[in-house]
Each structure stands twice: as C-alpha cells, then as structure tokens.
Amino acid sequence: MPPRLDVALAAPLWRPLSYAVAPELAPIIRPLTRLLVPVRGKPRLAFALGAPQEGDTEGLKPVSDVLDEAGAPQLIPSELLGFFTRAAAYYQAPLGQALAWSLPGGLGGIEPGAIKAPGRAQAAWAAWRDGDPDQAPRPGTQGAKVLELLLEQSPRSLDALRPDFPGITAIARRLEAGGWLSLTHKPVVKDLIGRPILPEPEPEAYSDEQAAALAQIEPAIKDHTFRPFLLYGITGSGKTEVYVASCAVALATGRQALVLAPEIGLCLRLEGLLKERFGPDKVAVLHSGLSPAVRRGQWLAIARGETPIVVGARSAVFAPLANLGVICLDEEQDESYKQNDRLRYHARDMALLRAQEQACPVVLGTATPAVTTYERARQGGLETLRLTKRIKQAVLPLMEVVDLKSAGKLAGGFLSLRLKQAIEQTVAQGRQVILFLNRRGFAPALICPSCGQRVGCPACSLSLTLHKKKNAMVCHTCGHNAPIPAACPSCGQGEAGLKPLGLGTEQVSETLQQLLPDMRLGRLDRDAASSPAQLRQVLSAVAKRELDVIVGTQMLTKGHHLPGIGLVGILLADQALSLPDFRAAERAYILLTQAAGRAGREGEAGRVIVQTFDPHHHAVTAALAHDPEAFYAEELDERRALGYPPFARLVGLRLEGASEAATARASHALARALEQARAKIEPRAAVLGPAPAPIARAAGRWRWLILLKSPTSSAAAEILRLGRHRAGPPPSGVRLLVDVDPLSLI
C-alpha cells in the first residue's frame, strides 16, 4: 500500500487535501516539504502537513513531484509548522496560502538551487545503449529519456526538466538509486549588499543598564526558554549593542539569531554593524530593497544553515531559521511592521508567537512603546528592561512649542519666525537641522479657483498629489500618474490657473531655498530616496556634514545615527493628530518623541521646535515635558473609555468590488451574519457597520467596511468563523479582506 499524505494547498482552501505518495518520494517528505500536486489536472504548489503515513490511498491521486531537495534543508524548515499553523489561524488565512506568501517572490514553485549531474553512470549508460547490462531503464521510458538528455547536456537543473517530466524528482531518485546519475546542489549566488554608513566601534564595556538587561536576556537564550522582553530605552541609550550581544550569546550556544528593523535604512545600519562584528559570511539580509534574485539567494543560504544571523524588515520574521536562539526587534512601535496585503500580519506579534513556538527569548526594543505594548508590559506580559541614560551624554533636548494660532505671519507659509531664527543660529554654529513634514510631493492637492474642484484620481475617491519636478499628478493610493493639467479637468477653465493646496516636502525644500539661499539643503522622502542606494547617499551626505538642512518625512525620524543634528523642527504636528483614527494621538506622541531623539546626540544639548495649532493636546504636552508616563496614562484612560485596543480586539473586514450595489449588498449580508454570530458567541462584542470606507473608492473598486470589536481575540475568531460560514463566500466580483488587529481603517 503506498503511503498517504495530507497537504496544504497554496490556495484559498481551508481543509487539507490527501494524496498518495510514490515509494521513491516518501522518504524525502517531511512537514512543510514543498510539493507539486495535481488539482483538476494541473500541478499546484502545496506543503506537506506531516510525513507520509501508511493509510488508505484508494481513489487518491499521487503527489506529482517534490520541490525541496532530498538531503538539502527545506525552504521552510519542518520546525516551523507549529508557528505557521498558529500564525495563519490568527490572521484568518488558509495555511498553504500563508506559507506560500512568506516565501520571497519566485520561490513559491521552483527550486533554483538544485541540479542534476550524471555521475560515474555516464559511461555505463553509454555502454548499455550499445551492449546490454541488467536493470537499466528501458528505452522509451521517462528514465531513459532523462538520461539521454543528460548525455547531451549536463548538468541540468530540475526546473529545466520539470516541464517535460512532471515527476522529475521521483524519476531522478530512481535513477540515482540505480547508480545512473547523481544529484547535487548548486552553490548559492552571493551578492554585495549595503555597506555601513559609519563604522561603529565595539564598546569597551557595557553600561550598567546594558549589563543589567543582558543579565536577564542571556540566561533565557541559554535555557532555551520563551521570555518576552521590552527593552524600553531612550534614543542613544545603546539598545543596538544589546541586540548585538544577544546575537553573540545565541551563536555561542550554537543557535541562530533574527534581528528585525522596520525599514530598509535601519536594516542597512544593522547589517553593516553585524557583518563587521560577526563577519560578512555569518549574516544574511532580507528586505524589499534587494533584487528578487539576491533575496532568493539569501533565503536559500539561510535555509541551508549557512548564515546564523538574519537581519531584515518585517517579512524576515518568517526567515527559515530552524534553530533560533533569540529574536531582537527594533522600534517595536513602528507601523511598518504591519503588512497590509495578502497575509496581514504584524511582525512584532509574529515575533512573539515565533519565539514562543521556538522556545527562545524575544527582545522588543523601543524608545516609545506602542500603547498596546506599554499596557501589556504593565500587566506583566512582557518583562521590562529599562535604559534611561544616553551613552554619550545625559542632556535631554530642549523642547519648545510654537502655537500657530498666535504665531503671526509665517515665512513661506509654514515657517514661524522662531523656527526660522533657530535654523539660522544652528547652522551658524556649524550644526545641522532636520525639518519634518509627513507629506511628500509639492502639495497634496491642486484646486481650480473657478469651480473649486480638486484634480482627483480617476480610480479613487481622492485628490491627486502635485509633484512639480516630475511634472506629475500622482495618486498615493493606487499610483495613478498623469501630467499636470493645463486647464481644470472639471470645468475646463484654464485662465485662472490651477492652484496648489496644502504643503508637501518638495514645496518646503523649494521655498526654503529661496528663504535661506546660503544653506545646503537636502531632502529625504520616498521620492528623493526611492532606492536603498539613494537613501544611503543622502544619509551619508548628512553624516559627512555636506548638508545643513534636511527636509523629510517619517523616514527621517527613525533611529538613524546622525550625530551632527542640533535642531529638529516639526512643521505641523497637527498633521498626525488630525487623522480619523483612534491611534492619532499615539502616532503624534511617538513622532514628536522620536524627532526629539534626533537632536543633539553627541555631548551638546539639541533643540526641538514643534509648530502646532493644538499645543495643549496630551500628546504634545507629554512629549514636550519628556513625560511618557503622563502620555500613556491619559491615552490608556481614553482607550478604556472608548473600548479600543488594548481593551478590545479589533478585526477590520473590507469588501471591495467594481459594482457599488453588489459590494454594498454583500457587506450588509456579511454584517448581518456576523451580528447573529456575535449575539450567540459573545454579547459584549460589537459589529459596527457596514459603512462605505473613508476612501470610498480606490483603484476602481468600491470599498465598504465592517468593524468587529471584541473583548478577547478568541471570541473575535469564533465570531468571524461562524459569521463567515453563515454568510458564505462573497459573490463573484466582490472580494473580502480580513484584517486582524488593523492599524488603519480606510
């Protein structure tokens, strides 16, 4: 009886499928081995859910092929089955789909590393064609055809042969068993990746606080136990060295380390540092700034166990490390950790889950914990390690607020007299200035003075952003890109001329050049630094003091090491506060605190000037007073009163469709079903909506929202399961996106 195997198909399918397994393949299939299985006559990617078992295979189709090589480490180690099962269940995604989504592009269905070379059998085979040894593949069979091909050209990759020989792995293994050929693995292609911006010397001794933190983390790594830590330390307190030291402990105990940062710029710094300390061949890197080929190469190197340290952005939380000793995740509050398509995971939450599954500690580092993290630590769900002192100096920056309501005339429309003078003073002292505005482009809208209409995106219910240098109107939601119109697209009026409305970083740079003609200005946003190379270039120009003033978006406030900054100006703090979102205050507080962290890192006190219309908001006052406890206390009170996280779990459900009516109908039907499920399962939960999304139409699709609020995540999952089951799948043309713990609801 051939063995039988359950697999998870890489498709929106919830139940496992069963297949028969050829005897040649059975020994090389383990949990999470990638397979090709026939579905309606076509080979599809699937993942083994266990090893093949003796069982009834009556009526079952056989597995077509095995994609992971015999003897080689798998692309997703078997050890991660538990982690992925829980991750997929948590985010309401089918397991096979979650697994496929975690692989870098191109690794889903192919095996770029494995090749076949005919070995010593070549001569024997040639002899057999002429003479007649026993047990050779009969002419005309698939095995004989494969050998014929290999005699013409060798080595060949499995992938090259698979289209003509769908069961190539089984064929090759049979031939190998008979001594007719040999299977080898092609070495991984290596590539050059980012260099460090500044060399950072190894510390001679840890600070007392660093040492105390390590004294907690070290035993957890050595004891192989799950312990979640919050490394709560102000900017410049030396958190990074704690990560480095934790990696060293993990490696010394023969295990691996995973270091995560929210964005590429920070990955570059960590990569440089870790390669410097541990050697370049010990560190693999995974982030979207790498070419797909390099990413695949890195993934394979990790899977083969060649690189015990992995540095990366959010997707690296799925890196194929089978023997993990520690996870360090920097800037845990950063919203870039949330993936907003396909599997909508949060890398911080996945890091916690993974550490639990792989029995290792996880270190969440931050100067400004997310409100949910802060509360979790307060409740004892995280062990807090405090770093309260800056390594190189103890001076906190001087924080000042400019109330824009009474600031008088603003230079260039955005610069108060106080901020302008401060810029001039700072640059005169030979120090640098960062000006922050979280809006790229020239202006967020172009408006027609005669009809009052804004130039809108044809596919979304949004204004297009004016990008003057590129001569383009760009939709920041769907990417629509068109030349700047000469006349108003709505009324045709051209005489009056279309007027920019609002402020973006491009405009700030342009106007500053006029206001401060002697200064060397730079810009850092997704337009000015669209690739890691450009980002590195701008950051190194800042580090080498080739720039006096840098205007930038959020990208600038993250933990880059920029020692020359004497002044940080926040042009409009209200930008963060006015978002229609319960996290607006948290975002504003974090932004202000992080921006402050950029000022005056080396010895001299820095200065921070915050321009705002709302100087009495608790996010502003707490940041100005360097009083995090005041902010968290007030914010937690508000969240408790309104029933928002951490006091409730949220699940966002978005329905999208080209037909407005069908989308609305499906949304009402689903909301009704969820409401019934809620009443049955957890009366304290609430189903809000359906309602058209704040961005009611995007990329040509109408969007409706339903929000599920639940006191516990298990109740939320149950309500969803039952509600979705009762409502049935959405009608064709309407798509349902489920976002567990959503960060934005638009």
Nearer to ligand ADP, 391 or 411 (CB): 391
459 binds, among ligand ADP, Zn ion, none (CB under 5 to 8 A by kind): Zn ion
Sole window of 234-242, 279-287, 487-495, 675-683 interacting with ligand ADP (rule: CB under 6 A):
234-242
From CA 564, how far away is CA 602, in angstroms rounded?
8
Q: CB neighbours of 357 closer than 8 A, spacing ≥ 6? A: 80, 82, 83, 86
504 binds, among Zn ion, ligand ADP, none (CB under 5 to 8 A by kind): none
Sole window of 57-65, 221-229, 476-484, 735-743 interacting with Zn ion (rule: CB under 5 A):
476-484
Task: Say if strands 499-501 and 362-366 run parallel, antiparallel, or are unpaired.
Answer: unpaired
Query: What's the token pair of residue 1?
Result: 């009886």
Binding flag, residue 559, ligand ADP (CB under 6 A): yes
Residue 605 C-beta-side C-alpha neighbours within 13 Å? 8
Helices (H), 234-278: 239-252, 264-278
Sole window of 119-127, 469-477, 560-568, 587-595 interacting with Zn ion (rule: CB under 5 A):
469-477
Binding flag, residue 460, Zn ion (CB under 5 A): yes
Number of residues engaging ligand ADP in binding (CB under 6 A)? 17
Residue from 6, 159, 176, 200 touching ligand ADP (CB under 6 A): that is: 200
From CA 609, how far away is CA 245, in angstroms rounded?
36
Nearer to ligand ADP, 239 or 709 (CB): 239
Residue from 78, 154, 207, 253 touching ligand ADP (CB under 6 A): that is: 207
Residue from 34, 116, 227, 239 touching ligand ADP (CB under 6 A): that is: 239
Sole window of 141-149, 278-286, 458-466, 607-615 interacting with Zn ion (rule: CB under 5 A):
458-466
182 binds, among ligand ADP, Zn ion, none (CB under 5 to 8 A by kind): none
Nearest to 424 by CA among 312, 309, 518, 327: 518
From CA 96, how far away is CA 88, in angstroms rounded?
9
Residue from 24, 241, 271, 739 touching ligand ADP (CB under 6 A): that is: 241
x/- map, 215-254, Zn ion, by CB under 5 A = ----------------------------------------
Sole window of 229-237, 313-321, 566-574, 630-638 interacting with ligand ADP (rule: CB under 6 A):
229-237
From CA 245, how far away is CA 252, in angstroms rounded?
10
CB of 389 to ligand ADP, least distance (A): 10
Residue from 167, 194, 233, 325 touching ligand ADP (CB under 6 A): that is: 233
Residue from 206, 226, 613, 647 touching ligand ADP (CB under 6 A): that is: 206
Q: CB neighbours of 706 closer than 8 A, spacing ≥ 6? A: 652, 653, 654, 655, 667, 670, 671, 674, 687, 688, 689, 690
From CA 370, how far away is CA 376, in angstroms rounded?
10
Residue from 89, 459, 688, 738 touching Zn ion (CB under 5 A): that is: 459
- Do the Cβ atoms of 617 and 585 come closer than 8 Å? yes
Binding flag, residue 32, Zn ion (CB under 5 A): no
From CA 215, how far away is CA 629, in angstroms rounded?
26
Q: CB neighbours of 37 closer than 8 A, spacing ≥ 6? A: 7, 9, 17, 19, 43, 44, 46, 61, 63, 64
- Do the Cβ atoms of 7 and 17 come closer than 8 Å? yes
Phi, psi of 716 (to 5 degrees): -60, -45
Query: What's the token pair of residue 690?
Result: 């359906």
Binding flag, residue 240, ligand ADP (CB under 6 A): yes
Sole window of 231-239, 581-589, 668-676, 703-711 interacting with ligand ADP (rule: CB under 6 A):
231-239
Binding flag, residue 407, ligand ADP (CB under 6 A): no
475 binds, among Zn ion, ligand ADP, none (CB under 5 to 8 A by kind): Zn ion
- Residue ranges binding ligand ADP (CB under 6 A): 200, 203, 206-207, 210, 233, 235-241, 391-392, 559, 561
Which positions touch Zn ion (CB under 5 A)?
A: 457, 459-460, 475, 477-478, 480
